[in-house]
């Protein structure tokens, strides 16, 4: 089984969410891990599938002109204006697909911590034995609230990275975000390379750079429109 590294793309929020979902649902060829780093066409926030839109808008009151979209995964509100965003799909043929969500979450973040520490960043995975300082956070706002197995700053306890997941019969989609202001000066391309290498080693799959997959353009267009529609945004 290979670990496919896809090209970086820039998209609007609805497009990014739709493509992540299609990489889970419609990836051509045999079983493979799929990883992509992507960027945002304009300032964006995403929020978890189960969150209520009225509450989300209340938290973002006063922030005008944002590109807002509901994710296919769970989790809280994520600010993408200063983050490094990625998606990883774990195929159902791998043991991590069957593992508890906490195990796949921890494995993902242990690889990220390894990459950060190799570059001199004091990052650790939050564990029950190392609780973070009491938070003055709003529940459901990602970088204000630290959860078990998040990546945090070793000294301050500030959250560096979190992720959200969706598991179905096709595999496990992990959508992750690294908050740039929480770390020191960093070569982000170098971090991405080290993170991906650590992931490939952890899952026992060789890294293979691949071109963007040939997805059905009508399906892509339809799903982007669905993710941008009020019915999806106001689902809850």
Domain positions in the chain: 2-233
- What was the pLDDT predicted at 132? 47
Q: How far is CA 141 from CA 77, 89, 137, 227, in A?
A: 5, 24, 8, 21
pLDDT tens digits, one per residue of 101-117 = 999 999 999 999 999 99
- What integer is the mean pLDDT of 209-229? 96
pLDDT tens digits, one per residue of 41-87 = 999 999 999 999 999 999 998 777 889 999 999 999 999 999 999 99
| CA-closest candidate to residue 152, choices 165, 166, 137 | 137
- Which residues in the chain belong to E strands, given as ranges? 2-5, 9-11, 32-40, 44-47, 67-70, 78-79, 83-91, 123-125, 151-153, 159-168, 171-179, 207-209
CB 96 within 8 A of CB 172: yes
Please state, in angstroms and rounded to a whole number, the distance separating the CA atoms of residues 116 and 26.
32
| CA-closest candidate to residue 116, choices 43, 19, 167, 191 | 191
Residue length, the chain? 236
Q: Is 2-233 assigned to CATH 3.30.930.10? A: yes
CB 116 within 8 A of CB 207: no
- What integer is the mean pLDDT of 196-204? 97
- pTM score above 0.85: yes
- What was the pLDDT predicted at 141? 66
Is the sign of the CA dihedral 113, 116, 117, 122 positive or negative? negative
- What integer is the mean pLDDT of 139-162? 85
Q: Is the per-residue pLDDT at 26 higher than 90?
A: yes
- What was the pLDDT predicted at 29? 85
Q: Give the chain's mean pLDDT.
A: 92
Model confidence band, residue 130 (pLDDT cutoffs 50, 70, 90): very low
Please state, in angstroms and rounded to a whole number, the distance separating the CA atoms of residues 40 and 21.
17
Alpha helices by DSSP H, 53-186: 53-59, 95-98, 101-118
- What was the pLDDT predicted at 61? 83
């Amino acid at each position: 089984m290979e670990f496919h590294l896809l090209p970086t793309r820039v998209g609007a929020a609805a497009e990014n969410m739709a493509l992540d979902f299609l990489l889970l649902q419609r990836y051509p060829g045999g079983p493979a891990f799929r990883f992509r780093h992507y960027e945002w066409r304009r300032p964006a926030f995403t929020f978890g599938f189960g969150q209520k839109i009225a509450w989300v808008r209340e938290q973002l009151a006063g922030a005008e002109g944002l590109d807002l979209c509901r994710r296919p995964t769970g989790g809280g509100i994520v600010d993408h204006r200063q983050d490094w965003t990625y998606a990883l799909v774990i195929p159902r043929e791998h043991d991590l697909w069957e593992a508890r969500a906490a195990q796949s979450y921890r494995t993902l973040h242990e690889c990220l911590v390894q990459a950060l520490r190799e570059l001199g960043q004091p990052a650790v995975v939050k564990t029950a034995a190392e609780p973070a300082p009491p938070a003055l956070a709003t529940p459901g706002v990602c970088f204000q609230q630290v959860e078990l197995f998040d990546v945090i700053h070793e000294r301050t306890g500030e959250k560096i990275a979190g992720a959200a997941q969706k598991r179905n019969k096709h595999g496990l989609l992990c959508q992750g975000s690294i908050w740039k202001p929480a770390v020191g000066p960093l070569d982000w391309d170098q971090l991405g390379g080290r993170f991906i290498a650590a992931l490939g080693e952890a899952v026992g799959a060789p890294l293979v750079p691949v071109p963007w997959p040939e997805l059905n353009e009508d399906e892509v267009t339809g799903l982007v429109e669905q993710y941008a529609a009020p019915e999806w945004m106001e689902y809850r």
